[in-house]
Structure 1
Amino acid sequence: MTNPKSNELLFCALGGSGEIGMNVTLYGHNGKWLMVDCGVTFADAHYPGIDVILPDLRFIEERLDDLVGVVLTHGHEDHIGALPYLAEDLGVPLYATPFTAGLIRGKLEEERIEDRVPIKLVSPEQPFNVGPFKVQVVPLSHSIPEANALLIETKAAKVFHTGDWKLDATPVIGAPASPEQLTAIGDRGIDVLVCDSTNVFNAEASGSEASVRQGLTESVARARARVVVTTFASNAARLHTLGQVAQETGRKLCVTGRSLDRIIRVAKATGYLKDFPDTIDVDTAMRLPRNRVLIVATGGQGEPRAALARIADGSHQIGLDAGDMVIFSAKQIPGNEVAIGRIQNQLAAKGVEMVTEKQAHVHVSGHPGRPELEKMYGWIRPKALVPVHGEMRHLMEHARFGNAKGIRHTLVQTDGDLVRLAPGAPEKIGDVAVGRLVLDGDVILPADGGTINERRRIAVNGQISVGIAVDRNGRAGGVPEIRVQGVPVEDEREPFLAEAAEAATEAMSGRARDRDRLREDVRLAVRRVATRWTGKKPVVDVVIVQV
């Protein structure tokens, strides 16, 4: 593929299109590339032993001399979470507003690379140049401070890249761009709107963050015992509201969870949460009368190691009993239903009352519903729409909605589609390499490479180890040693092992063979026994020891 030309603007999502999360977008112009965001997504049972999934950046890693920078729209994990693992290799500055920069800096410090990754602070008042791209951050509302759209200008075209956003007439934190300011941006002539599609199926607007305060206050006020509220740690506005709720209901505030501590620390350092009440530690909270404490905990998405999961299973310092209350001040992220349900069942078994957005107004979304999308179209008036941040069903529906509301050109693309945004109407012109990487402990691996595939096979079928001995002439002998893990022979383990050992012995007998042939003969013999007994095909490893 040739480098982007001086008269064209290219677009390519390496993550975040055709999926929710792991957002990475490239813009190409005049031989250079600009990256917007670099996030992660979170693993499910398909990736045993894995928590975090990273984008495969091989396309741009092969063109690092042409990458001019990474601009971050906001501080959510699906937009900045991959930076601690990938930013140093990219070797370019990161551009972020102060709150987002504070979160990134903390991540880089944990990896001890803060001195090797430059962060440049930007503000809405000051456009900045990154190579051939002129960029201006435009503040919008979202469920985290300093969420920004990007106005990206080149000689070929102007793009309004929304990032994650919503409309909020009464924001609790921050000052989003007004309709007049967004209209003025539209007056400059926007060629393409690259827009969040997460809530395109919602017929109603997302609602104001300020509206949640009453529902939370009423729920906490009627509680007669201990109250735990779980919410997204990054939602500093919700934390501000919970501080007010605690004061209004006469309860002391306790915060538990490292991510909550980090958000509060960075928010205060960058001028937010100035009137947040003093908090108490867990030990103090547990000594107070049950009706005098409000606890904010991480883990509302069912994360197994987060505070709420440990509270539910009884392994946390905070204990809940019958009559206590847990408020889920967050919406379930698709895919987390089972994990959340498990925690809720554990809480229910204790007699804990649960309040979700279905029982009370305790949450509003951070993404735009259809009325908000329509308003943005009217202010920005783009010639073309490229939906992002959604699964295929979201992207297709967003394109249909944009067409219905008068946007002439729409283009549905997915990760790896190389798109020419200008000149002319957006069109796909090629494909680039994309994929997923996993963070496995401290090692980054291909998501569908040998290690993870082996782990999947072991998880599904179990594993058998066979130890055999050979003499210096290559002849096998003695009694094979066999161990099994995860093979369903619990009730008949000893007879199974005896038959497997007999099969291995028979496979070892006869002529001398090279070690590879001997190993394969024994492996197949033992696996045939396992398949006959269980109907499964476990992973069989044969270890040969010379005696």
Structure 2
Amino acid sequence: MNLNVYRCDGALLAVDCGIGFGGSEAPEAEIIVPDPGWLAERRDRLVGLVITHAHEDHLGAVAALWPLLRCPVYASPFASAVLRRKLGEAGLLHEVSLHTYGLGGRLNLPPFDLQFLRVSHSVPESQAMAIRTRHGLVLHTGDWKLDPEPLIGPPTDEAGFAALAEEGVLAMVCDSTNALVEGHSGSEADVRRALTSLIGSLSGRVAVTCFATNIARVESVVRAAQAAGRRVALFGRSLRNADVAAREAGYFQDVPPFVDEEEAGYLPDDELLIICTGSQGEPRSALAKIAADTHPNISLGEGDTVIFSSRMIPGNERAIMSVEAQLMRAGCRVITADEEHPVHVSGHPARDELRRLYELVKPQHAVPVHGEWRHLQEHAALAREWGSTPHIIEDGDVLRLAPGPIEVAETVQSGRLALDGSRLLPLEGGVLGARRRMLFNGVVVGSLAVDEGGRVRGTPQVSAPGLFEQDDEATQQIAGDLARLVNDLPGPLRRDDASLREAARTALRKAIGRRVRKRPLVELHLLRV
């Protein structure tokens, strides 16, 4: 859920605009985006939004938030291809001024002079940015690693980083995701070799799940399948979209068209490999449906193998383990990344790679970003070892880099919004607050008809999904209590609709409270006849 802002001489530059997921922390919201309120109020000073790479946590919120920002957007060829599809689905393709910048090139957005440096990551065309201003040079690394064999695209431009050191780097804003991991993150080439060896040894149907935009990984799976005499099918919308974007940007030139989902089920088991979404246990993903045996076109069972070519993102452990358990219950062999099967490497730098970058760049100051507080602290300690002064900041902090001493100068509005369909809703607002309450306490809806004097006519109807079964005797008793309590109200109160409705709602809440020790959301419909 990245959204970074640089300010210089009054002008603003936004970098990345991504999504997050509600998960167990906010189960009432599936997708969460940063609250752009502070930036939207100053959009007349916003010179542009620059996307560093095509991962959802860096560009997934562009379509949702652009109507509030209405600024030019700049992205690499692959990220532009991904964005065009998203903007088209949102009906914004012809409104957004989307510019494709050259890889490793320059972009002048006064007073910001941007130089892009190619870095390795788990998606093509990731770019770090050297931001030059009259006050100094700031390096924004984005997500990166040092991969000697990234397979798609060149390795990280170490010479370019070293050249920045000769110029002098005021501050480096740098990835901290793997700051706790000693050693090196590993290479995509190692994964390709491991997948080729593993898949060649398997019989039955084989499924591999990985992140859709890891084009090098998808290509590795395809190469391994071809070596084993298997054809490949894609299962999952995000994978199909990534395939289209990759081919549009010039990748997958030697990868044949994938087998259609409908055709895949008819291929002999030993001749089929499927690549599917759902590495994080997402409930609506292709793999989750396959595990639950609800997918319309494919099934897996005894003698089949599922390979998780991905890491377990913190917070997703329970969902992933549930999918793995369902697959194993169906008779599948489940393989995850370990020393025996190195089928995944991280796209983020481990500590040796961080040390190497500090050795190359030699920044005066370091601003650790990405990760939890412990990751930032470990990164800060490492930066200090290399002679940089670290500064740990939180969402909303404005870190003044120049002129004068570097310090947090102010704090501005920040926060999170839920993307609910096409709506942006505050997480603590009434709609999601009610949804959260319904999730944990249920909802009760009562309907009753009264005459002109406010006396109940007939039997009230009470529905309490999440609390009682539809035909539960308790709802009938509650309906009777509601009628009695309403009829006992004072006559003047029963003749006023607003007062009667509120009193009836209170009566219904009391009737429910006597039977269950919960505080459900209570709604009441009143009809006067």
Q: TM-score, normalised by structure 2?
A: 0.95
Q: What amino acid maps onto 2:393 in structure 1?
A: Q
From 479, 483, 489, the counterpart of 2:462: 483
The whole-number CA distance in structure 1 between the counterparts of 2:506 and 2:425 is 29
Match of 1:516 among 495, 498, 503: 498
Aligned counterpart, 2:336: 356
Does structure 1 residue 470 correspond to structure 2 residue 450? yes
Name stretches of at least 5 consecutive residues in structure 2 with no aligned partner.
none
Q: Distance in 2 between matches of 1:491 and 1:480?
A: 16
Partner of residue 386, structure 1: 367
> C-alpha displacement at 1:496, in angstroms?
4.5
Residue type matched to 1:484 in 2? Answer: S
Partner of 2:78: 99
Q: Which residue of 2 aligns with 1:444?
A: 424
Distance 1:469 1:512 in 2: 17
| Aligned-partner residue type, residue 89 of structure 2 | E
| Letter matched to residue 319 of structure 1 | S
Partner of 1:377: 358
Report Cα offsets for 1:62-92 as digits up to 9, x if no partner.
Answer: 1111111011100111000111112233121
Which residues in structure 2 correspond to 1:141-220 (within 5 Å)? 141-220=120-199
Q: Deviations over 1:148-196 (max 9, x none)?
A: 1000010112100000111101110011343222111211100000001
Counterpart mapping for 1:236-275 below 5 A = 236-275=215-254
Q: Distance in 2 between matches of 1:169 and 1:125?
A: 18
| Equivalent position to 2:29, from 47, 50, 64 | 50
Alpha carbons of structure 1 residues 523 and 374: separation in structure 2 relative to 1, 3 Å:
same
CA contact 1:299–1:306 (8 Å) conserved in 2: yes
The runs of 5 or more residues in structure 1 that have no matched partner are 1-21
Change (3 A) 1:480 1:432: farther
2:473 maps to a residue whose letter is: E
Report if the CA contact (8 A) 1:199-1:368 is conserved. Answer: yes
Matched with 2:440 is 460
Deviation at 1:106, TM superposition (A): 1.2
- 1:6 is matched with none
Match of 2:408 among 428, 440, 449: 428
> Alpha-carbon deviation of 1:480?
4.8
The residue that corresponds to 1:305 in the other structure is 284
1:342 maps to a residue whose letter is S
- Over 3 Å counting, the alpha-carbon distance change for 1:524 and 1:29 in structure 2 is same
Q: Distance in 2 between matches of 1:308 and 1:495?
A: 40
8 Å contact kept, 1:48–1:455? no
Answer yes or no: is 1:86 the counterpart of 2:33: no
- Report the number of matched residues: 524
Partner of residue 266, structure 2: 287
Q: Following the alignment from structure 1 to structure 2, what is the Cα–Cα distance between the partners of residues 83 and 368?
A: 26
Equivalent residues in 2 for 1:492-507, closer than 5 Å:
493-507=472-486
The whole-number CA distance in structure 2 between the counterparts of 1:65 and 1:277 is 47
- Whole-angstrom CA distance in 2 between matches of 1:322 and 1:461: 41
CA distance in 2, matches of 1:48, 1:522: 31
- Paired letter, 1:427: E
Aligned to 2:56: 77
Cα separation, partners in 2 of 1:462 and 1:34, compared to 1, 3 Å: same
Q: State the alpha-carbon separation in 2 of the partners of residues 448 and 315 from structure 1.
A: 35
Shift of 1:522: 2.3
Partner of residue 12, structure 1: none
Q: Deviations over 1:370-407 (max 9, x none)?
A: 11111111111000001111222222221122113321
Instruction: Name 2:516's counterpart in structure 1.
Output: 534
Deviation of 1:482 after TM superposition, in Å, equals: 3.0
- For the aligned residue pairs, the C-alpha RMSD in angstroms reads 1.8
CA distance in 2, matches of 1:240, 1:213: 9
Instruction: Report the CA distance between 1:526 and its aligned residue.
Output: 2.2
Q: Quick one: which amino acid aligns to residue 431 of structure 2?
A: T
- Report the Cα distance in structure 1 between the residues aligned to 2:507 and 2:522, rounded to whole angstroms: 10
Structure-1 separation of matches of 2:392 and 2:474 = 59
Q: Distance in 1 between matches of 2:352 and 2:214?
A: 23
DSSP 3-state at the match of 1:193: strand
Structure 1 SS opposite 2:467 = coil
* RCO comparison, higher one (Cα < 8 Å, 6+): 1
Between 1:417-426 and 1:455-464, the stretch displaced more is 417-426
AA paired with 1:144?
A: V
Is this contact kept in 1: 2:200–2:225, CA < 8 A? no
Supply the distance in 1 between the matched residues of 2:391 and 2:103 (Cα, whole angstroms).
Answer: 29
Query: Is residue 29–residue 432 contact of structure 2 (8 Å, CA) maintained in 1?
Result: no
Percent identity of paired positions between Structure 1 and Structure 2: 40
2-structure distance, mates of 1:479, 1:386: 69
The structural deviation recorded for 1:418 is 1.3
Tell me: CA distance 1:215–1:395, structure 2 relative to 1, closer, same or farther (3 Å). Answer: same
8 Å CA contact retained: 2:281, 2:319: yes
SS at match of 2:291: helix
Letter in 1 for 2:51: L
Question: Per-residue deviation at 1:525?
Answer: 2.5
Look up the equivalent residue of 1:534 and give its one-letter code: V
Shift of residue 267, structure 1, vs aligned partner: 1.4
How far apart are the structure 2 equivalents of 1:323 and 1:262?
Answer: 30
| 2:386 equivalent to 1:397 | no
Query: Shift in Å at residue 45 of structure 1?
Result: 4.2
User: Counterparts of 1:203 and 1:45 in 2: how far apart (Å)?
Assistant: 29
Q: What secondary structure, in the 3-state scheme, does the structure 1 residue paired with 2:401 have?
A: strand
Distance 1:115 1:324, change over 3 A: same
Deviation at 1:517, TM superposition (A): 3.1
Displacement of 1:47 in angstroms is 3.9
Deviations 1:480-519 (CA, angstroms, capped at 9, x unpaired): 5232233434499214531452244224423221333323
Inter-partner Cα distance in structure 1 for 2:13 and 2:306: 44
Determine the C-alpha separation between the residues in 1 that align with 2:104 and 2:478.
77
Task: Work out the CA distance in 2 between the residues paired with 1:280 and 1:370.
Answer: 41
Q: Letter of the 1:139 partner, please give it.
A: R
Shift of 1:305: 1.4
Counterpart residue identity of residue 478, structure 1: R
Contact 2:116–2:128 at 8 Å: present in 1 too? yes
